[in-house]
Amino acid sequence: MNIIVYNGRIVNPATGIDAVGYIIVRDGRIARLDTIGEIDEGRAIELSEEYEVDKMIDATGLTVTPGLIDLHVHFRDPGLTYKEDIESGSKAAAKGGFTTVVAMPNTKPVVDNALTFKYVCDKAKEVGLVNVIQVGSVTKGMEGKELSDIDGMKLNGLITISEDGKSVMDSGLYRKAMKKASELDITVLAHCEDINLVEKGVMNMGAKSKELGLNGISNAVENIITARDIMLAEETGCRLHLCHCSTKESVDMIKDGKAKGIKLSGEACPHHFILTEDDIPGNDSMYKMNPPLRGRDDRDALLKGLKEGIIEVISTDHAPHSAEEKSKPMEEAPFGIVGLETSLPLSYTYLVDKGIISLSELVEKMSLNPARILGIDKGNIDVGNVADITIFDTEAAYDIDPETFVSKGKNTPFAGMTVKGEVRYTIMAGEVTYEA
């Protein structure tokens, strides 16, 4: 499809553009981009004729950015498709403004070999609504005993590995995986959790867990593995990206590690930089995720980290579960909340609208930086590039209603919250994958 998007505010941090203009998409790529201010309808029609445009999008008052990239989602296929499947997950991604997502391998079976890896990649292509980058697990079956067939998956296009859902507790084995990642030039995405310290914790260890009489997860559970992983990244030279950072100590360690020149980056999720344990109303599993909502000082450190560029990625950890699973009390329900359909409005409302970061910095964290971390040629709307574009209205305010989610998962702690920022169009490789 050939498209003209005109009179929108184009925000493209890769080229330093933040100005009103138009973009012409032809045969899946960006054929022309001009930031000459507003054009009248006559000129838009003239350009449409010149470029054989079949769809005109008047983006007056809207923001036009590179397609959003989520470095952390769970699409649950194979094996757990009652929670989500590639089609429902892809639809949720497109609706959330995402053109690329990174899918974690903790499925059933685990994505630890070329065959399963290829199965997900092929299915995602068939659905064709979002570019799915499938992650390979670090160890077979995520059992922490033996390395996965990383070479086999690499031959089929693997660019990143992770044991998300847990950490590889055998440091020797993990170091081997990191060495391999370094040799193969693939990124390691790290979920940092010392399982031996969890002791049946279901929420942050603090005043709230005491009040509710629930077992707590201390900051040390995350911090110890964060420290180990950074040290091993330094030793092996691999590119390490820390998933869903939740503690103030993690932010400090990322800052120090980067200062030392280690190839290191970190992400934060909206729930961790917006909510704290004080927001948990009671024993309610909509507030149960791993890592848990932390204390106020941790939340404030994440905000500071985002502001100062220490944390350069916003991801969702989109973790859909069934209504039945999440209706159980915290002691029994699985960890995780959905995020694809709320990430942009929440991040816009709590970071940009509150003046913590600029709109351009938001686009960096939700598109350009994730692309750089993965080493993929995305996150930049420029002439010649694949046309992955997100168009949204920063002024539209509405209440989050999980019943409107297209994801199978309705598990969110943000129900009823008023936010600003609504996706109007998502364009992936020149095709409209979502239109409000």
Kindly list the catalytic residues: 317
The C-alpha atoms of residue 84 and residue 90 are separated, in whole angstroms, by 10
Judged by CB under 6 A, does residue 204 bind ligand DOR? no
Residue 132 CB, nearest distance to Zn ion (Å)? 15
Q: Which residue is nearest to Zn ion (CB)?
A: 191
Q: Which is nearer to ligand DOR, 228 or 244 (CB)?
A: 244
37: nearest Cα among 14, 66, 60: 60
Residue 193 CB, nearest distance to ligand DOR (Å)? 8
Interacting residues of 237 by C-beta distance below 8 A, sequence separation 6+ = 182, 263
Point out which span in 150-158, 223-231, 328-336, 379-387 binds ligand DOR (CB under 6 A): 328-336
Judged by CB under 5 A, does residue 191 bind Zn ion? yes
Selected from 65, 88, 106, 209, the binder of ligand DOR by CB under 6 A is 106
The C-alpha atoms of residue 290 and residue 316 are separated, in whole angstroms, by 12
Judged by CB under 6 A, does residue 289 bind ligand DOR? yes
Among Zn ion, ligand DOR, none, residue 189 binds (CB under 5-8 Å by kind): none
The C-alpha atoms of residue 59 and residue 35 are separated, in whole angstroms, by 13
- Residue 254 near residue 305 (C-beta atoms within 8 A): yes
Query: Rounded to the nearest 10 degrees, how much is the dihedral formed by the CA atoms of 246, 252, 254, 259?
Result: 170
Q: Kindly state the helix (H) or strand (E) to which residue 297 belongs, with its residue range.
A: helix 296-308
- Residue 250 near residue 296 (C-beta atoms within 8 A): no
Selected from 84, 164, 229, 312, the binder of Zn ion by CB under 5 A is 164
Q: Beta-strand (E) ranges in 256-315?
A: 264-268, 313-314
Residue 101 CB, nearest distance to ligand DOR (Å)? 14
**Measured between alpha carbons, how far is residue 369 from residues 147, 257, 354, 363, 406 in Å?**
28, 18, 22, 9, 27
SS3 at position 47? helix
Judged by CB under 5 A, does residue 422 bind Zn ion? no
Among ligand DOR, Zn ion, none, residue 163 binds (CB under 5-8 Å by kind): none
Judged by CB under 5 A, does residue 87 bind Zn ion? no
Judged by CB under 6 A, does residue 335 bind ligand DOR? yes
Point out which span in 130-138, 177-185, 305-313, 333-341 binds ligand DOR (CB under 6 A): 333-341
The number of residues that bind ligand DOR (CB under 6 A) is: 12
Judged by CB under 6 A, does residue 241 bind ligand DOR? no
Residue 5 CB, nearest distance to ligand DOR (Å)? 35
Residue 389 CB, nearest distance to ligand DOR (Å)? 29
Selected from 249, 317, 341, 388, the binder of Zn ion by CB under 5 A is 317
288: nearest Cα among 277, 301, 302: 277
CB-neighbour burial class of residue 108 (10 A; exposed 0-12, middle 13-18, buried 19+):
exposed
Judged by CB under 5 A, does residue 163 bind Zn ion? no
Chain residues in the site for Zn ion (CB under 5 A): 164, 191, 317
